[in-house]
Amino acid sequence: MNFKSIIIILTAFILQGCKEEAKSSVTDSVYAVTSEGEEIHKYTLINIKGMQMEVITMGGAIISLTAPDKEGKYEDVVLGYTTPDLYLNGNPSYFGAIIGRYGNRIAKGKFTLEDVDYQLPVNDGVNHLHGGKGFDQRIWKAEIIAEDEPSLKLSYTSVDREEGYPGNLDVTVIYTITNKNALEISYEATTDKTTIINLTQHSYFNLSGNFKTILDHSLELKADKFLPVDNTLIPTGELRSVTGTPFDFTIAKNIKEDINVHNNQLVIGKGYDHCWIFNDTVKHMKEVAGLYHKDSGRYMTVYTDQPAIQFYSGNFLDGTLKNKKEGNYENRSGLCLETQHYPDSPNQKEFPSVVLRPGEKYKTKTIYEFSVR
């Protein structure tokens, strides 16, 4: 055997090894059992690059998601509880969960649809937030739909009048970890009575790999306008220009830059907890946001077909929950970028409609794609 053939054989062995290592997969295990004896499953999705996501059937919550840094090191970039009990007993911070039937707030839990007045439970001061006992606290059915680009389909039927909402609503959410290191989320729903809907995902991102702070992350939002809120966090109805305000992220800016500036809206929100309206509100996929952590080099691009995004800077994290890495989750140790329709739309005639009628299909998609810079 000459030198050249040895090299060819060695290369073949090495490539074979890489191929084994880079196999994608989806595995299913029992994560916990509820007090009623129901099993909560955990699905682990791994793509060919080694990016990994763990999802549980309680709330369809993403409990971990890894992304590579500039050295190629994969680390967890979403906050989560360290034990199952908080996921099973109300998920108080909505960590990683699917949010519905109506993400964000509805003033006083009231709305009128086709001349019928509805009263939803009030669970956030005087308002209704994130669907009341919402989709984050429901057990979803799971089905593995692909392993090559690992993909998991979650389904849930929200019955007529659950949390006061009209209509039996069949919902599916598909999570895919693509081979381009993106988390794709596709939402679909149908109803048998006219209803309202605004689904979103409540992962708290921190790209540093240690979950200490998001103040050193920089954020870009393709949005010239945001919705100012009253002191119960309900939009006033005004679409305000971000120009010259701390809400201007049209050019990437460090979150810490303006978060402590004296501004009435920042006082009300205890930081950023507002909805930004994209410059392009047409329903098609577009790039809408970018989040960057310089030290690790991790970059997350957000694409969506939704008209708006709630940027919540983790203002209610108060240092009492245990950090998956070390210590506790301090104030502003994670942030949410929740693609959605405008809060309180059912009560604000000028806002785009969130009504879903029988025979129509609610269909929307958001992508969080990870890269390095």
Q: In this structure, what token pair is assigned to residue 62?
A: 């993403």
Backbone angles phi and psi of 164, in degrees to 5: 90, -5
Least separation, in Å, of the C-beta of 158 and ligand BGC? 19
81, 94, 211, 247: residue in contact with ligand BGC (rule CB under 6 A): 94
- Of the candidates 252, 260, 345, 334, which has an alpha carbon nearest to the alpha carbon of residue 301? 252
Contact 333, 317 (CB under 8 A): yes
Contact 281, 194 (CB under 8 A): no
66, 176, 201, 310: residue in contact with ligand BGC (rule CB under 6 A): 310
> Which CB sits closer to ligand BGC, 312 or 362?
312
> Which CB sits closer to ligand BGC, 13 or 316?
316
- Which of 184, 338, 341, 369 is catalytic? The answer is 338
- Of the candidates 335, 39, 88, 299, which has an alpha carbon nearest to the alpha carbon of residue 211? 335
> Which CB sits closer to ligand BGC, 230 or 295?
230
- Of the candidates 352, 347, 202, 336, which has an alpha carbon nearest to the alpha carbon of residue 277? 352
Contact 337, 205 (CB under 8 A): yes
Q: Could you give the C-alpha distances from 61 to 56, 95, 131, 215, 222, in angstroms and in order?
A: 5, 7, 15, 25, 27
274 belongs to an annotated ligand binding site: no
> Which CB sits closer to ligand BGC, 47 or 340?
340
Residue 312 is a binding residue for ligand BGC (CB under 6 A): yes
175 belongs to an annotated ligand binding site: no
Q: Is 1 exposed, middle or buried (0-12, 13-18, 19+ CB in 10 A)?
A: exposed
Site pattern 323..362 for ligand BGC (x: CB under 6 A): -------------x-x------------------------
Backbone angles phi and psi of 3, in degrees to 5: -60, -40
342 - beta bridge partners?
A: none
369 - beta bridge partners?
A: 182, 301
Least separation, in Å, of the C-beta of 39 and ligand BGC? 26
47, 93, 181, 208: residue in contact with ligand BGC (rule CB under 6 A): 93
Q: Could you give the C-alpha distances from 139 to 5, 10, 45, 61, 64, in angstroms and in order?
A: 57, 50, 19, 10, 18
CA distance 105 to 274: 11
238 is catalytic: no
Which residues 246-305 are close enough to bind ligand BGC by CB under 6 A? 273
Residue 316 is a binding residue for ligand BGC (CB under 6 A): yes
Residue 220 is a binding residue for ligand BGC (CB under 6 A): no
Residue 136 is a binding residue for ligand BGC (CB under 6 A): no
CA distance 360 to 195: 11
Binding part of the chain for ligand BGC, among 1-9, 132-140, 310-318, 347-355 by CB under 6 A, reads 310-318
CA distance 164 to 97: 21
Binding part of the chain for ligand BGC, among 11-19, 244-252, 279-287, 309-317 by CB under 6 A, reads 309-317
Least separation, in Å, of the C-beta of 96 and ligand BGC? 11
276 - beta bridge partners?
A: 226, 309
> Which CB sits closer to ligand BGC, 191 or 203?
203
202 belongs to an annotated ligand binding site: yes
- Which of 202, 217, 274, 293 is catalytic? The answer is 202
Q: In this structure, what token pair is assigned to residue 1?
A: 């055997």
293 is catalytic: no
Q: In this structure, what token pair is assigned to residue 161?
A: 């009048």
> Which CB sits closer to ligand BGC, 80 or 167?
80
Contact 177, 149 (CB under 8 A): yes
Least separation, in Å, of the C-beta of 129 and ligand BGC? 7
> Which CB sits closer to ligand BGC, 43 or 102?
102
204 belongs to an annotated ligand binding site: yes
Least separation, in Å, of the C-beta of 124 and ligand BGC? 7
Site residues (vs ligand BGC, CB under 6 A): 93-94, 233, 273, 310, 312, 316, 336, 338
List, as residue ranges, the binding site for beta-D-galactose: 104-105, 202-204, 273
Residues acting as catalytic residues = 202, 338
List, as residue ranges, the binding site: 104-105, 202-204, 273
